Amino acid sequence: MSIAIAIDGPAGAGKSTISKSAAKQLGFIYIDTGALYRTVGLAASRAGVEPVEGKEVDDLLSKITVELTFNDKGEQVVLLDKEDVSGLIRTPEASMMASKISAIPSVRAYLLDLQRDMAKKNNVIMDGRDIGTVILPDAKVKIFLTASPEARAERRYKELVEKGMDVKYEDILEDVKTRDYNDMHREIAPLKQADDAILADTTEIDLQGSIDLIVKIIKENS
* Residues at the contact surface with ligand DC, assessed by CB under 6 A: 11, 33-34, 37-38, 95, 98-99, 102, 128-131, 179, 183
Report d(CA 125, CA 16) in Å as an integer: 10
Q: What's the rounded Cα separation, in Å, for the pair 34 and 78?
A: 11
Which residue lies nearer to ligand DC by CB, 37 or 110? 37
Find the shortest distance in angstroms from Cβ 180 to ligand DC.
Answer: 9
DSSP 126-166: EEESSIIIII-TT-SEEEEEE--HHHHHHHHHHHHHHTT--
- Whole-number minimum distance, CB 47 to ligand DC, in Å? 18
Residue 44 C-beta: closest distance to ligand DC, Å:
13
Q: How far is the CB of 100 from ligand DC (least distance, A)?
A: 8
CB-CB contact of 18 with 210 (8 Å): yes
Q: How far apart are CA 133 and CA 130, in angstroms?
A: 5
Of 11 and 145, CB closest to ligand DC: 11
Q: Compare residues 178 and 222 and give the one whose CB is closer to ligand DC.
A: 178
Backbone angle region of 9, left / alpha / beta, with phi > 0 → left and psi within -120 to 50 → alpha: left
Closest approach, Cβ 97 to ligand DC, in A, equals 9
Work out whether the CA dihedral 70, 142, 92, 54 comes out positive or negative: positive
Q: Which is nearer to ligand DC, 196 or 216 (CB)?
A: 196
Return the number of the residue (16 or 123) whose C-beta is nearest ligand DC. 16
Judging by DSSP bridges, how do beta strands 76-80 and 83-84 pair with one another?
Answer: antiparallel
